[in-house]
Amino acid sequence: MRRITVFRIYLCALFLLSLPIVLAAVAAWQPPSQPKTTVIAHRGASGHAPEHTLSSYRLAARMNADYIEVDVRATKDGKLVALHDATLARTTNVETVYPHRSPWRVSDFSLRELKKLDAGSWFDPRFAGECVPTLDEVVRMLKAERVNVPLYVETKQPGIERAVARLLQKHGVLQRGSVMFQSFHPESLQALRPLIPRGVPLIQLVGEKEARSGRDELLQQIAVYADGIGLPLPAVTEEWVRAAHGRGLMVHVYTVNEPHDLARLCAMGVDGVFTDYPDRPGRIAACRRLPRH
């Protein structure tokens, strides 16, 4: 058989043998994608279930949130609970159960008293019987249900940092990739820094008024102790994002629920969005990929 024919047969065989590998490589090839926008379930999936309840956190995980936001406060007896407001009136039936304890501050009630409250019916009767969870119960539930979604903990009051760090440490989740911290109180983030391992991000939240006064000075201050800034939606501009990134700070925006706002912010290059609807960003192309600056 002429040499050239043998060579051709050899080439064909080589091609056929390598075809599956080539096809697998093509299938696995992904265009050089940009990091997707981090989706933070604001108070859990609080657009679908009562905020800061185990149902809300469970749903956030089911909706593929990248982080579950937990606002943390302390009860009278120093127990850490997941709650946004300083008082219980908006999200529980405290006025009915303890009519004479106005203004129903969380810090005026023991955990035992709090556990008698219904934290679900105000949102929808379907959630009647949901309770105010402790931070310990939140971490235990996520573990027990094998939900591997990191927490984004907000210290709502200074002075609880050591207790929060100790509790998360106890559960083995005080590490990079398992938790991120945020606060409106700079002193709270500064108190956290020595208590947490390197690489666990600290995000300084700012209000709208603050965001509108002196951007560069504010960013300079924040860059000293934090890894990012939490900006309110109305205050976010391209300039803000560029300036923060220029100082190596992540930009997380709260609270972004409308699809047009989500698309606009993702296209702007923000790093993360707090949303009550963690199921929405995934449906927006811009939030799955970011244009290169």
Active site residues per annotation: 42, 84
Asked if 118 and 83 touch (Cβ cutoff 8 Å), the reply is no
Q: Measuring CA to CA, which residue among 257, 213, 249, 214 is closest to residue 233?
A: 257
Q: Is 154 in the site for ligand G3P (CB under 6 A)?
A: yes
Residue facing Ca ion at closest CB distance: 154
Nearer to ligand G3P, 30 or 71 (CB): 71
C-alpha closest to that of 43 among 26, 23, 19, 68 = 68
Residue span binding Ca ion (CB under 5 A) among the ranges 108-116, 125-133, 146-154, 244-252: 146-154
52 binds, among Ca ion, ligand G3P, none (CB under 5 to 8 A by kind): none
Single out the residue of 109, 240, 274, 277 in contact with ligand G3P (rule: CB under 6 A): 274
Peptide bond into 103 cis (omega under 30): yes
Q: Which does 254 bind (CB under 5 to 8 A by kind): Ca ion, ligand G3P, none?
A: ligand G3P
Nearer residue to ligand G3P within complex by CB, 85 or 113? 85
Count Cα atoms within 13 angstroms, Cβ side, for 247: 22
Other CB atoms within 10 A of residue 80 CB: 24
Tell me which amino acid residue 255 is.
Answer: T
The least CB distance from residue 157 to ligand G3P, in Å, is 12
The residue among 68 and 94 lying less far from ligand G3P, judged by its C-beta, is 68
Kindly give the residue spans of alpha helices, DSSP state H, lying in the chain.
Answer: 3-28, 54-62, 94-97, 111-114, 135-144, 161-170, 186-192, 208-211, 215-225, 238-246, 259-268, 285-288
Query: Which token pair is 203?
Result: 């995000």
| Alpha-carbon gap, residue 73 to 2, rounded angstroms | 85
Q: State yes or no: residue 71 binds ligand G3P (CB under 6 A).
A: yes
Of residues 230, 272, 278, 281, which one binds ligand G3P by CB under 6 A? 230
Rounded distance between C-alpha atoms, residue 214 and residue 222, angstroms? 12
Q: How far apart are CA 221 and CA 186, in angstroms?
A: 10
Strand 250-254 versus strand 151-155 pairing type: unpaired
Could you tell me the two tokens for 10?
């050899």
Per CB under 6 A, the list member of 37, 38, 42, 215 interacting with ligand G3P is 42
Q: Is position 51 an interface residue for Ca ion (rule: CB under 5 A)?
A: no
Between 48 and 84, whose beta carbon lies closer to Ca ion? 84
Is residue 71 a contact point for Ca ion (CB under 5 A)? yes
Q: Among residues 123, 181, 254, 277, which is the contact residue for ligand G3P, using CB under 6 A?
A: 254
> How many chain residues are in contact with ligand G3P, going by CB under 6 A?
10
**Residues between 201 and 220 with contacts to ligand G3P, criterion CB under 6 A:** 205
Q: How far is the CB of 230 from ligand G3P (least distance, A)?
A: 5
Sign of the four-CA dihedral 256, 261, 263, 266: negative
Residue 118 is a binding residue for ligand G3P (CB under 6 A): no
Binding site for Ca ion (CB under 5 A): 71, 154
Which residues of this protein are in contact with ligand G3P, per CB under 6 A?
A: 42, 69, 71, 84, 154, 182, 205, 230, 254, 274
